[in-house]
Amino acid sequence: GNSVTQMEGPVTLSEEAFLTINCTYTATGYPSLFWYVQYPGEGLQLLLKATKADDKGSNKGFEATYRKETTSFHLEKGSVQVSDSAVYFCALSAAEGGKLIFGQGTELSVKP
Amino acid sequence: GAVVSQHPSWVICKSGTSVKIECRSLDFQATTMFWYRQFPKQSLMLMATSNEGSKATYEQGVEKDKFLINHASLTLSTLTVTSAHPEDSSFYICSAINPAGSYGYTFGSGTRLTVV
């Protein structure tokens, strides 16, 4: 079946450090890929998405590129801020309007 | 933008009672909504897919009689936890598909259920 695997957290970085959170997936066909962010006690917010191979999603300084050859969708940011502290979820959808399958989440803590 | 309102944001109930959680799409019609459950420091587990006007589709291992889902209108889906027990304590999150945007999944802010 379809699945998503993320690097384990927590990840602790200093402000302005470079961030990478790895995400790989297993799926048949051509899924769409997403990164969501969850702040404490809140629901999920879409951070970025990519719907086909080689697409790059970007938002608020975060980027991720859909790599079909490595089945990956790693999240990167060049310079993190304290306000980026949250839990990040990688997810896939096998079909438009279909259910989302989430990775286990990676907690990011950015220290001043 | 698309907004999904989930209510209540937190609830405490006694063991054996039932609790209803509402999920409303405020500015769009949602033919499909999803209900997730999240344990502390864990991922979201899909419980069921709710389709307007038809029965919900439950994921394997989710008790249909325990978690009643009703999607009676294009803007409202409800999840009722029946005869709640402490092990049902969790964070429940709904999501709706916004047809106006490609792959437009919008999430509610979640409901923290504590059964005592």
- The model's pLDDT over A20-51, given as tens digits with 9 standing for 90+, comes to 999 999 998 889 999 999 998 788 899 999 99
Query: What's the pLDDT band for B5 if we cut at 50, 70, 90?
Result: very high
Task: Answer yes or no: do A43 and B42 touch at CB < 8 A.
Answer: no
* B-contacting residues in A 26-85 (Cβ below 8 Å): 32, 34, 36, 41-46, 49, 51
HSE toward the beta carbon, residue A8, CA cutoff 13 A? 0
Q: Which residues of B touch A107 (CB under 8 A)?
A: 41
- Mean pLDDT, residues B54-74 taken together: 93
Question: Which portions of chain A are predicted below pLDDT 50?
Answer: none
Buried b (16+ CB within 10 A) or exposed e, B41-69: eebbebbbbbbbeeebbbeeebeeeebbb
Q: Which two tokens stand for residue A101?
A: 């399958």
User: How confident is the prediction for chain B on average, in pLDDT?
Assistant: 91
- Is there a contact between A54 and A39 (Cβ–Cβ < 8 Å)? no
Q: Which residues of B touch A89 (CB under 8 A)?
A: 43-44
How high is the pLDDT of residue A75?
Answer: 98
- Mean pLDDT, residues B73-92 taken together: 95
Q: In whole angstroms, give the CA distance from residue B15 to residue B95.
A: 27
How high is the pLDDT of residue B3?
Answer: 86
Q: Is the pLDDT of residue B2 over 90?
A: no
- CB pairs < 8 Å spanning A and B: 50
- Mean pLDDT, residues B16-45 taken together: 91
CB-nearest partner of B93 from A44, A51, A103: A44
How high is the pLDDT of residue B100?
Answer: 65
Give B42-95 as a 3 state SS string.
CCEEEEEEEECCCCCEECCCCCCCCEEEEEEECCEEEEEECCCCHHHCEEEEEE
Whether the upstream peptide bond of residue A40 has omega within 30° of 0, thus cis, is: no
Task: Answer yes or no: do A34 and B32 touch at CB < 8 A.
Answer: no
Query: What's the pLDDT band for B67 if we cut at 50, 70, 90?
Result: very high
